[in-house]
Amino acid sequence: MFELTLTQQEAVDAGKISFLLGAAGTGKTTALQERLLRLLRGGEPAYTILVLVAEPEHQQSYLDAVHQSGLGPYADLKIITYNRMAQEMVALFWPLMARPAGFAYPSHPPTFLSYDLAQLLMWKTVEPMIAAGSFANLRLRPQQIVSQLLDTLNRAALNGLSLDEAIARQINTWAGGQERILHLQDAAKAARTFRQACLDNSLLDLSLVIEVFDTQLVQHPEFHRYFSERYRHLIVDNVEEFTPAGQNFVHNLLAAAQTTAIAYDSGGGYKRFMAADPAGASRFRTRSQYVFEFVPSFIAPPEMDHLANLVENHLQHTSKPTVDAAAAIVGVVNGRYRREMIASLIPALQDIIQQDGVHPSEIAIITPYLDGALRYNLTQALKQAGLPYFLLRRRSSPREEPRVRAWLTWLALAHPDWDVHPSAFDVAEALTLSIHDLDPARAELLTERLYRPEIPDLLPIDELPDRLVERVDMKFAGLVEELRLWLANRDGDASIDVFLYNLFNELLSQKRFQPVPDVAGAAVCDWLVQSAARLRQSAQMMGLRSAAEIGRTFIDGINQGLVTANPPDLGDPPDPNGIMISTIYGYLLGGKPVRLQVWLETAAQGWWNIPNQPLSNAFVLAQSWDSQKQWTLDEDFYIRNQLLSRIIRGLTARCTDGVILANSDLDRRGQRQEGPLWRALQPVRKS
């Protein structure tokens, strides 16, 4: 049992509106959780308490606090994100606002589109436009176009802008060439077409959920009466990560709630790419009767703060103290190439674990990007060294997982009428992943002789010459034939999700195919089944009328690079007690504090870069941006420096013992690396 500080206790006991201000690790969330327990112990019904958190992952710590308190189960306690609550309220009050919101058939129940499904619907909108010449000369993959169009819709709604206002901002603030204007006009056409399809079919993506909730429901008398009579106590954590729409909602509740406690991370605002508004969140301080400033950190020692100051001084020309910054760097590992960097890092981690007693779960490897090659090399090295690990991922592209590609290959071959033609490479890869011990060379031989891509289908093994049967082994040839017959004799009426479930459970998981349980394959199968089921349930409303349309859309969407916020567990099962591997923002938004951080590829430009989004500028679409002000190179440079300063302060605030700088001289393209972070750290780098 821990003892609260005086500031924490005062924040727990405060009434009316209170504002908890401090850096990460200073005890604000702990105070909010204790405030929640104080209300419950005092007899306040859980039904009357609303806890708003910035991320779904943050819900668990509040639930754990309640469970560990011994107060009993509280099923009526609402701990939720703003986006999720908006969706629940729109579903609950749908009959009140469907017609004024502009839906063509307000009597039809709403269909909520997950991010996966929204991408598929947008791809259905964009594909014919690209074929007709839209977005010409735009150096973006189709999936990037899709995601940026959805980003524009989402950012508009979350910033309280109409779609037309968002489009006008994008065009009016652009200070470059005319070609970008043409691309933005194409983007406007696609976004409007997508939105109309949603209104015509009672489909709600995130942007439409937020827009309907914010403009139609929040001010509705019936909704206001429901909310004010139910919720008497409001707890808001990490308000700096809330969007303007979420902050406006909290602001409207202040007068109705008996008590409100709002926590603000003074170094936060990492979700600005997703419309977070840290500057707008600071207004709650002036509305509060009590302001509690939380210092010092329970986690980070002074030298970590000095390290953050060092980077900020370099990037933003401040003059904060840095005398102890060098003590925060516990090691530097270098290599000319990535593989050499990783080869040097692994022994350093082993020494720290064995000699210093740091548990693997107290280490985080943080990188600006985690492409497939880096992920593979890093995880393989950790595995060979016997070091447990897990990936903390917020979003991923499932096509990067070979098993996803393999299962989709069999789905296409089982349905030649869908007119999806996997390549010979896809089929050979699928064979090696489906049949244990079948090596790529023999899989390629089998594919060359048995696969007809123009149909597409597999020929019977009778077509194989005897000499080839000997080369590939009759056992493998027999399993290929069994797979062919299973695909040929499939249930023609089975939906995609049923087909994929049966493919894995009836065939590919059997011991003759996989003697050792294929745990990763099971995870991929589960993800595919759930994704396919969601598409099947929404297909009719999305304009997909036949099984072939559904199948082509499903396969094509994933192959084009569809990104999921609920990725399958790739590779071996994750070890929650292992070393955390994460991208920067994944760690800052969902990772826990650790003793040791590894800043991977410290010299990479990726630490300083912002996403290349020519079709959706997050900063121009911010509610606080002057719609008449143009986006210039000076603005871009300033934002990059500011974001990197915040990133480093956020990382150091979540680290106890120190940082290892791990760097490769050359990036994956062979270009020399010396990014702004590496230059900022020059005074404390030790080799």
DSSP 352-417: HHHHS---GGGEEEEES---HHHHHHHHHHHHHTT--EEEE-S-B-GGGSHHHHHHHHHHHHT-GG
Q: For the chain, give the number of residues.
A: 687
User: b/e per residue, 519-543, with b = 16+ CB within 10 A?
Assistant: ebbbbbbebbbbbbbbbbebbebbe
pLDDT at 472 over 90: no
594: burial class by Cβ within 10 Å (0-12, 13-18, 19+)?
buried
627-632: long-range contacts, CB 8 A cutoff, minimum separation 24: 627/165, 627/168, 627/169, 627/172, 627/173, 628/172, 629/173, 630/172, 630/173, 630/174, 630/175, 631/173, 631/174, 631/175, 632/175
pLDDT at 424 over 80: yes
Tokens of 468: 């080839």
**pLDDT given for residue 570 in this prediction:** 59
Average pLDDT of the residues in 642-651: 94
316-325: long-range contacts, CB 8 A cutoff, minimum separation 24: 316/641, 316/642, 316/645, 322/683, 325/683, 325/684
Contacts of 207 (CB under 8 A, 6+ apart): 150, 153, 154, 156, 157, 158, 195
User: Which of 316, 318, 300, 332 is closest to 682 using CA atoms?
Assistant: 332
pLDDT at 60 over 70: yes
Average pLDDT of the residues in 166-188: 92
Sheet-wide strand order for 329-335: 329-335, 655-664, 594-600, 363-367, 579-583, 389-392
How far apart (Å, rounded) are the C-alpha atoms in residues 368 and 598?
Answer: 12
Q: Which residues pair with 589 in a beta bridge?
A: none
Task: Name the pLDDT band for 175 (thresholds 50, 70, 90).
Answer: confident
Q: Which residues pair with 111 in a beta bridge?
A: 203
Residue 141 vs residue 205, higher pLDDT: 205
Amino acid letter for position 357: G
Average pLDDT of the residues in 165-191: 92
pLDDT at 112 over 90: yes
Sheet-wide strand order for 49-53: 78-81, 49-53, 233-236, 259-265, 17-22, 290-294
**pLDDT given for residue 425 in this prediction:** 95
% pLDDT > 70, the chain? 98
How far is the CA of 193 from the CAs of 142, 153, 383, in angstroms?
17, 12, 48
User: Which of 36, 30, 113 is closest to 78 using CA atoms?
Assistant: 36
pLDDT at 138 over 60: yes
Task: Name the pLDDT band for 1 (thresholds 50, 70, 90).
Answer: low
Residue 518 vs residue 450, higher pLDDT: 450
Contacts of 241 (CB under 8 A, 6+ apart): 54, 55, 265, 268, 269, 270, 271, 276, 278, 589
Tokens of 631: 């986006």
How far apart (Å, rounded) are the C-alpha atoms in residues 567 and 563?
Answer: 8
Work out the mean pLDDT of the chain and round it to a whole number: 91
What's the whole-model pTM score?
0.89
How far apart (Å, rounded) are the C-alpha atoms in residues 470 and 451?
Answer: 19
Identify the DSSP state of 271.
G
Average pLDDT of the residues in 137-166: 93
Tokens of 149: 């169009």
**pLDDT given for residue 38 in this prediction:** 95
Task: Name the pLDDT band for 177 (thresholds 50, 70, 90).
Answer: confident
245-293 pLDDT, tens digit each:
999 999 988 988 999 999 999 988 888 888 899 989 999 999 999 999 9
Tokens of 327: 């003590």
Element (H, E) at 638: helix 633-652
**pLDDT given for residue 187 in this prediction:** 95
**pLDDT given for residue 33 in this prediction:** 96
Average pLDDT of the residues in 311-318: 95
Contacts of 386 (CB under 8 A, 6+ apart): none
**pLDDT given for residue 567 in this prediction:** 72
Average pLDDT of the residues in 574-580: 86
**pLDDT given for residue 256 in this prediction:** 87
Are 389 and 622 spatial neighbours (Cβ–Cβ below 8 Å)? no
How far apart (Å, rounded) are the C-alpha atoms in residues 400 and 411?
Answer: 17
How far apart (Å, rounded) are the C-alpha atoms in residues 639 and 177?
Answer: 22
Instruction: Identify the CATH number of the domain defined by range 6-88+220-294.
Output: 3.40.50.300
Q: Hunting for tokens 């493919």 — which residue is that?
A: 503
% pLDDT > 90, the chain? 75
Helices (H), 58-114: 59-69, 82-92, 94-97
Q: Which residues pair with 631 in a beta bridge?
A: 174
Residue 560 vs residue 677, higher pLDDT: 677
Q: Which residues pair with 174 in a beta bridge?
A: 631
User: Which of 502, 614, 581 is closest to 138 using CA atoms?
Assistant: 614
| The domain defined by 303-397+573-684 carries CATH number 3.30.565.10 | no
**pLDDT given for residue 401 in this prediction:** 85
Tokens of 311: 């980077």
Amino acid letter for position 363: I
pLDDT at 573 over 70: no
Average pLDDT of the residues in 419-432: 95
pLDDT at 185 over 90: yes
Are 499 and 490 spatial neighbours (Cβ–Cβ below 8 Å)? yes
Parallel, antiparallel, or unpaired: how do β-strands 49-53 and 233-236 relate? parallel
